[in-house]
Each structure stands twice: as structure tokens, then as C-alpha cells.
A and B are shown apart, each in its own frame.
Chain A
Amino acid sequence: MLECEELSAAYDTTLVLRDVDLTVNDGEIVGVMGKNGAGKSTLMKAIIGLLEPKSGVVRYEGEDLAGTNANERANVGIGYIPQGRDVFPSLTVEENLLIGESVNRERDHDLYDEVYRYFPILEERRDQKAGTMSGGQQQMLAIGRALVGNPDLLLLDEHSEGVQPSIVEEISENLRDLNADLGTTVLFVEQNLGAIQDMADRCYAMERGRIVDEIGSDELQDEDAIASYLAV
């Protein structure tokens, strides 16, 4: 479904991604783990098209995405959940969700029912300004917003950041459920060990902008094996 080939990206002249190779297959939940500054968010931005890569290829459903804008990538079915749950603070919950309708223009139906089922708080608070909600609720809104348009691929940038552990667990569980129920493929980047173990089918490890290891589902349960990629 998604392939990155020798993807490199930079802010100004500082190379942040170096020759990243990565594959996500239909229906998988794939994680990319790494410490702060490893280049995880940059990878997400390069995939959705908010950052133009220096070199390399991003391929979605077999097609090279070079030369397409972020909005065009969203329109063909990629749902992006930015880091720091960037909801639109002065729009209501419902208005935030409406923006997500621009994701995946080719869908046959909206997923409002599913979003409200996974995250009932969003239906309760639909008329509330998004900026007045708690961190966890905003994270749910950011996920719901990317989901209403029925994307084929979700890009999730550190959903655990600044959210209390019990809520992170709940969100991770919901994401697993919707992957099973709807078949939505998920690529997420994360530095929270628990969230990685809860969600990932398999995981790449990233260090200083490079993919340094790939870890299967069995190895993922071995904390010592992966903690070394996360420890500061």
C-alpha cells in the first residue's frame, strides 16, 4: 500500500531523513519507533506531502506521489493525524470533523457513526470549541477527524504525547479495533513503549534519520530488545 524508497528529507540544509526504506502492506499496523529528534515526524510530513523530500520516492498504491500536494494525497485516501493533536481550536468538534470530509474523495460513505461509536465523547461534545477540550479528547478528535472520510491509510504521529497513560491505552485499543473492523491500514510513529507493543504488528526502529532495524511481532513483546531504541 505504501512504500518509501531511499527517502531523504531536510530542513534547510540539515538532513533529517537519510535513505529511509519502508513498506506498509494492506491492512497492517506498522510502527516506527525512535527517540526525540530521530526524524519520525519528518517522515510523516514527507509522506503526507507537507515537506518536500530531497530525494527518494514515496509510493502509494503503486503510484509515485512526487509532485502531488498534501491535499491531493489526502483526497486519494491518506488520513493524517499531526503531532501535538493540532485540532482547529476555535472550530467546534463537529466543524473539525467536517474538515476531515475532504479526506478520501472516492469513499462510498462517511464514517461518522463509527467515529462516534469509538469516541462517544465527540458526539457528546459536538458543539464545544475544540480548543477547550482536554489533551486526550483533542487527540481523539484529531483521530476522528482523519477517520470520518474513511481513509485507506492512517498516518498517526505520536498519539501518546501529552496524553495520560490510561487514555493512550484506550486510544490504542480503539485503533486496533478499527483496523480489524474497517481494514484501515495504519502507519504510526511513537516513542512510548506501551503504545508500540499495544498496537504494532511489526515495527521499524529509527535512529538519527535512518531505519536501523525491523522488528517482528514476537520480538516486539521482548521489552529489552526494543527499549534500547527508545532509551535516552
Chain B
Amino acid sequence: MNPLNLLFLFADNFAFIVLSAVGLAVIFGMMGVINLGHGEFIMIGAYGTTLSANAGVPLPLAMVIGVLVTAVMGFVLERTIIRRLYDRLLDSMVATWAIGLILTQGVRIALGNSIPQISTPLGTIAYGEFSYSTYRVVLSVVALAVLAGLYVLFTRTEFGIRARATIQDPDTARALGVDTDRMYTSTFVIGSALAGLTGALYAPTLTVVPGMGSSFLVEAFVAVVIGGPSVLLGTTLSGGLLGVIDALFTNLYGTFFGQIAMLLTAIVVIRLLSNGLTGLVEDVRNRMEGE
């Protein structure tokens, strides 16, 4: 087995898991809302991109349009529906699931079951007897950039500090002048935009159809669940762990076993670490500080 192949496979899995999960993780981690329409938000981003590109817009710009469309949709949904459902976990799950169904069927009715696809840009890198899609390498870099960008946003900016204060104690934040309603709206829009970005980025590599959202769901939910409470660290760690496992098993036994191995890992992690991978890291950190 060629180690470079394995590395590419890992990077590709890592990017897919991180990008699938990050929008879901931000909305869940910050607001406690489980967005069951997450996959459909990704689908909207992909449609925005593909339709724009088909209309002659250059691909990078088409991707920006895909992100914006999803962000605007997130804004409208938060203002009209989601904001009524904070602190109502089950209600918000039913509502976002319904939103997902409406989006899928709405797109199907409006645009039919298929639209002209766009092809993967940037050609391939050749090495030895193998070659690999350059665009997929770009995706890995983008996934890292998204994580780095979110890290800076949530730890280095005033917005991020207010957002973290709002998660920890919304009442106190509000009593100190933080407009928590606006923080929730912004967070939901950021989460939606990230889902849109995922759709935009994968639009050239996947078949863009109304039901495509479901192909992101396993990775997204597994990553968020085993990541634990800390949004960024959790997503990064689960992307890393699941990426390695999926790459190894896919390489040895094929894609099907890669998925099985990933789900088994999820079960083991949930069983052993109730606070996910983030909880494990916190425990280790506390123990080291205690000594």
C-alpha cells in the first residue's frame, strides 16, 4: 500500500467529516438546537452553487452565492421559526426535520429530480503510478482553514467572547447588556452559512439531487456526538479519529467496512466517554494541572 494514498484518503475523510459536521456543531454547541434539516441546508448550498454555475457565473463566485443563499435562508428561518423553539429540544427537532422535508420536496417540485451537474475543477496531481484530484486536496486545506477561522472567531473576537458568555449563562449575559437574541440569530446564520459552504464545496464532486443531504448526515451526527460539548475541539478530534479509522478500513476492506468501522467507533466512544472526546481531553488537562 502506498503511504501517500493513505494520507490522501485520510485528508479527504477528515475534510468530509469536518465540513459535514461543522455547521451542525456550531448550532448545537452554541444554541442547543439539533438541526435535523442540516443535510438539506447543505443541499441548498449545493443547488445555489450549481444553478449559478450553470447560469454562467464563474465557479468560485457561484460558491459564494451558494453560501449566501443558505445564510439568508437560515436568517429567515431563525427569525420566523427557530427562535420560538429555544429550550424546547424535541419541538425544535420535529420542526427542523419538517423544514428539511419541505426543502427536499420543494426543490423536487420546483426543479425536478435532476439538474445539469458541474464537473470537478483543477485536474489531477500525478505521483508515481498514481494520480489524485487536486480539488480534493484543496478541500482538505479549506476544512483546516474553516476550523482555524472559527477558532479565531470564537476566541479572539468580541463577538466570539459574547457568544461564549451567552452559551454559559444567557440571563447574566443579557443583564450585562448583551443582546442575546441577536447572538442566537448570528450563530444560526453562521451555522447555516457553514452548511451552505459544505454544499457549495462538494457540489462539483457529488451528484446534486434533492435528497443529497442524507449523504452527509451519518458523518455529521456521528462527529458531533462523539466530539462532545466543545464545538471546535470536538469537531477537529472526531474528524481526525473517524478520518483515520475510515481511511484504514476503507483501504483494507472497502468503503462499506469503512462506514461500519466508523459507526462501531462511535458506539465505543459513546459507551466509554459520556462527554465525548472533548471530555477526555478536559479530564487529562485537569489531571495534569492537578499534579
Residue ranges of A at the interface with B (Cβ–Cβ < 8 Å): 48-50, 69-71, 74-75, 79-80, 82, 86, 88-91, 95-96, 98-100, 102-105, 145-146, 149
Contact = CB atoms under 8 A, between A and B. Distances in A.
Nearest to A100: B176
A90 to B, nearest CB: 6
Contact of A70 (B158, B168, B169, B175): B175
B174 A70 contact: yes
Interface string B146-175: 000000000000100110110011011111
B150 to A, nearest CB: 17
Given A71-B180, A98-B158, A88 B175 contact: no
B179 interface: yes
A95 B177 contact: no
Given A88-B165, A91-B168, A99 B173 contact: yes
Given A88-B164, A88-B165, A91-B165, A102 B177 contact: yes
B144 interface: no
Contacts of A49: 175
A70 B168 CA distance: 17
Interface of B: 158, 161-162, 164-165, 168-169, 171-180
B156 to A, nearest CB: 11
B155 to A, nearest CB: 9
A144 to B, nearest CB: 12
Q: Which of B158, B177, B180 has the most CB of A within 10 A?
A: B177
Nearest to B173: A99
Contacts of B180: 71
Contacts of A80: 175-176
Q: Does more than half of chain B's interface fall in helix, strand or loop, or is it mixed?
A: helix
A74 B176 contact: yes
B176 A89 contact: no
Contacts of A74: 174-177
Nearest to A145: B176
A149 B177 contact: yes
Contact of A82 (B158, B168, B175): B175
A110 B173 CA distance: 18
A148 to B, nearest CB: 10
Contacts of A69: 174, 179
A95 B158 CA distance: 9
Of B161, B162, B176, B179, most buried by chain A (CB within 10 Å of CB) is B176
Given A86-B169, A98-B158, A103 B177 contact: yes
A75 B171 contact: no
Contact of A48 (B158, B165, B168, B175): B175
B172 A86 contact: yes
B164 A50 contact: no
10 contacts: A71-B175, A71-B176, A71-B177, A88-B165, A88-B168, A91-B168, A98-B161, A99-B162, A104-B177, A149-B177
Given A86-B169, A88-B168, A89-B168, A95 B161 contact: yes
Query: Which 7 pairs between the two chains have the least Cβ-Cβ distance?
Result: A102-B177, A74-B177, A80-B175, A70-B174, A86-B172, A70-B175, A103-B177
A99 B178 contact: yes
A91 B154 CA distance: 11
B286 to A, nearest CB: 11
Nearest to A48: B175
Contact of A103 (B162, B171, B176): B176
